[in-house]
Amino acid sequence: MMEAVFSVVAGLLIVIGAGFALVGAVGIVRFPDLYTRMHAASKAGTIGSGIILIALAVDAMQFGVATRALAGVVFLLLTAPVAAHLLARAAVSAGLRPWRGTTLDERTAQQAARLRD
């Protein structure tokens, strides 16, 4: 009986994770510039992958598999924001301008002005 419950929970988690991954993929295709696309990829993709790994941990019902899956989730949560930040920093340093409809705060506007000069 409990195996059936765990299988249903794992199935629901896989569907939810796949939904987040789909939203991230749609964001990559639909958003206008690197910065917004990167945001969609790093946030939705990380959450979707993490939820799918949690589903793996629930479905396996083995301590070793669950430990490795949760370690993978922690690794994703620690590395994806850092990678996104470094990509954005490299794009700013290379002079890549944001989409013209983007509202810039004062600091970002100053950096963009320095890059244009």
Residue ranges of E strands in 43-117 = none
pTM over 0.85, yes/no: no
- Separation between Cα atoms, residue 71 and residue 7, nearest integer Å: 21
Q: What is the mean pLDDT of residues 63-83?
A: 93
pLDDT digits (tens, 9 = 90+) for 2-53: 889 999 999 999 999 999 999 999 999 999 988 889 888 888 889 999 999 9
